Amino acid sequence: MKSPEQWSQFTWLLLATVSIFSGIVSWSTNISISRPFSRLFNALIDIITSGFVCSLVFMLLDAYDNPVGVSAAIGGICGHMSTRFLFIVENAIIRKVGEIVGNNDEVE
């Protein structure tokens, strides 16, 4: 198994780039009309969440000797989808709590 301590500077740069871009892509698909601070905050949260998930997946795949390109691609996809998955889970929880307390408002 590979350790991140054995990675080259190129691998670290690739990981950082893919992590950041997966967050930017995720955020850009969810842009809504709101206050500028809210948009900036949402962008930072999306980039941090996506970067964290992308890094974990990349490290896991690289530890099992998968090619760096494959690890980066799958890590980027997982990073992009992580915020969407959290949004789906959040809406499911809101719906369930709404059913329990008797609030029948629809979640957007």
- 2-11, 25-34, 70-79, 98-107, range with the lowest pLDDT: 25-34
Domain assignment of residue 54, given as a range: 8-101
Q: Is residue 107 part of a domain?
A: no
Overall number of domains in the chain: 1
Q: Is residue 43 part of a domain?
A: yes
CA atoms within 13 A on the CB side of 70: 8
Q: Is residue 72 part of a domain?
A: yes
Rounded to the nearest 10°, the torsion over CA 76, 79, 81, 83 is -150
Q: Is residue 62 part of a domain?
A: yes
- Average pLDDT, whole number, for the chain? 79
Q: Is residue 46 part of a domain?
A: yes
Q: Is residue 106 part of a domain?
A: no
- 16-20, 25-29, 40-44, 59-63, range with the lowest pLDDT: 25-29
What is the pTM (predicted TM-score) of this model? 0.66
Q: Is the dihedral of CA 41, 81, 24, 51 positive or negative?
A: positive
Q: Is residue 36 part of a domain?
A: yes
Q: Which residues of 9-27 are buried (b: 16+ CB within 10 A; e: fewer)?
A: eebeebbeebbbbbbebbb
Residues 43-96: tens digit of each pLDDT? 788 788 888 888 888 888 988 889 988 988 898 888 888 877 777 888 888 888
Q: Is residue 19 part of a domain?
A: yes
